[in-house]
Structure 1
Amino acid sequence: MDTLAFWLPLLLLFVSALMGTALKRRTRDHCLKKFEGSKIILPTSTGKWESGRLKVFAQGIELTFSEAKKEPCGSVNSLVLHPNEVGQIPYFLRPAPPPDTRLGVTWERELQRIRRPSMTDRGWRAALNFYNMLRDAFGQAAQAILGAITKDSSFSKVKNSDKRMSEMQAGLTELVPNAWEPVLEKYRGHPIVVERKTSTGLIKESGILEDYSSKYLLVREVEVREPELLKFLEDNPKLGTKHDLVYSRGTSMIRHTLSEQSQSLTPA
């Protein structure tokens, strides 16, 4: 019996640490995840742009270049950005596929589905919103259950047991997107205007709001208005004329909504 009392807390601690690690690896921002595997463009702190295939991790991102770039240290195949660097990126731009391709048709169908969601999509979103509304209650219930476990005298003797159990609880609640905001939820699938800060001042760009998280806004078919970015796109016609953007909420916000008849923004 004494042997079981000794090993059981250690086993529970090991399982909780394993679950916490596994859940933490899956907690990627769901707006950025929708650009996973796509060719994207992002601005750098030097005023230039980097492009490549996006891979999203829980702790950072990686851009894989289509061709190796020569550096003084050799040829590099990718660019790795860590969390503090990712947080400073104002937006991620994804060019839409050519309309006469299979990917272009899929992109257009996705846009129509966003604007006119099916009953299944509405039901799933309603369930997710219901969870987010009651998230605090779920969190308190989970904390009470885990607290009851950690109060066990044999378990409490294990070093860092409270910390490990708290990490597992945080992983369970963060695994599901939790940035439910009634104002933004109302205008998902509708044309909106994003106001964002640039080096030359505030600009406004219009598009279709697909989704949002605590850190980002995902907007489809954006009408780009930043002069530097417009010039870059004009100099690279292969990037097309339609673009999706993930905006950082640190520098951007939804300022207006648009009527369904108007997709273009008249300068204020």
Structure 2
Amino acid sequence: MLNAFAITVIFVVVVTVVAAFVRGRRKDKCLKDFSGSLLTLQDTADKLIWGRLRVESTGIELVYGSPYKDNEGHDETSYILYKQEYPILKALIRYHDELDDEARKRREIELEKTYHPSTLRRLRRKIRNFVNTFRNSVIEIVNLFVGQVKKTGPGGKILAGQDKHVSQLQQELGPASGTAYEPLLEPHIGKKVVLE
């Protein structure tokens, strides 16, 4: 018979493996919609890069149509931007007139589904928003709990020596910027808004 400690360890290992698998397969939905399209990337230094977008869970790659020689004489075939470098990303531009007929049709279908969702799609979105809100609450509770244990609990000395690992775990558990579900923006889906 397994004791409580062994069951806890097994549970933690299984959850960690499943979470790692899901995290490794998860791609940004907006970027995924642009995957395979010819895009122009503009960074914060106003540098422009053109290529076909390839999206992975760890970042993006713009594959050039033909090799390009850089200032140092190297042949470049693509531009890679990791997730941590997204803050230097100013804009990803996909020109509508450069889309082929199939891509235009896919875009129109996606816009129609977004602007006029079916009952099932609305239900899925509400469930996903609830799960994301719940996840954000759990992450906040875990962060508060870890902070409290570090201050007062007997494990505080152990955690204090592991600050680097604890903060890394907290960053992995929760997104640093905002929440996964933004109720203020939800009613504005499909409408033109001004962002300042």
**CA-to-aligned-CA distance 1:16-64 (integer Å, 9 cap, x gap):** 6544432332343333232222222111355331111222333332111
Which residue is equivalent to 2:194?
193
* Structure possessing the higher relative contact order (Cα contacts under 8 Å, 6 or more residues apart): 1
Which residue is equivalent to 2:115?
115
Displacement of 1:125: 1.0
- Tell me, yes or no, if the aligned pair for 2:114 and 2:190 is still in contact at 8 Å: yes
SS of residue in 1 equivalent to 2:94? strand
Mapped partners of 1:25, 1:99: distance in 2 = 29
Mapped partners of 2:97, 2:58: distance in 1 = 28
Compare 183-192 and 134-143 and name the one that shifted more: 134-143
- Tell me, yes or no, if the aligned pair for 1:98 and 1:104 is still in contact at 8 Å: no
Mapped partners of 2:9, 2:75: distance in 1 = 47
Structure 1 gap ranges (5+): 144-159, 196-268
Displacement of 1:77: 0.9
Which residue is equivalent to 2:60?
61
**CA-to-aligned-CA distance 1:131-162 (integer Å, 9 cap, x gap):** 2333345558999xxxxxxxxxxxxxxxx9xx
Which residue is equivalent to 1:48?
47
Q: TM-score, normalised by structure 2?
A: 0.64
Mapped partners of 1:79, 1:100: distance in 2 = 23
- Structure-2 change in CA distance of 1:123 and 1:66 (3 Å): same
Mapped partners of 1:30, 1:101: distance in 2 = 22
Mapped partners of 2:25, 2:46: distance in 1 = 32
Matched, 1:83 2:73: no
- Structure-2 change in CA distance of 1:101 and 1:35 (3 Å): closer
- Tell me, yes or no, if the aligned pair for 1:63 and 1:80 is still in contact at 8 Å: yes
- Structure-2 change in CA distance of 1:61 and 1:142 (3 Å): same
- Tell me, yes or no, if the aligned pair for 2:41 and 2:50 is still in contact at 8 Å: yes
Displacement of 1:12: 6.6
Displacement of 1:101: 1.9
Mapped partners of 2:55, 2:9: distance in 1 = 33
TM superposition outliers: structure 1 runs of 4+ over 4 Å:
7-17, 97-100, 136-143
Displacement of 1:90: 1.5
SS of residue in 2 equivalent to 1:41? strand
Structure 2 gap ranges (5+): 144-161
Mapped partners of 1:33, 1:100: distance in 2 = 17
Question: Structure 2: which amino acid aligns with 1:192?
Answer: V
Mapped partners of 1:192, 1:68: distance in 2 = 39
Mapped partners of 2:87, 2:79: distance in 1 = 15
Percent identity of the aligned residues? Answer: 27
- Tell me, yes or no, if the aligned pair for 1:59 and 1:83 is still in contact at 8 Å: yes
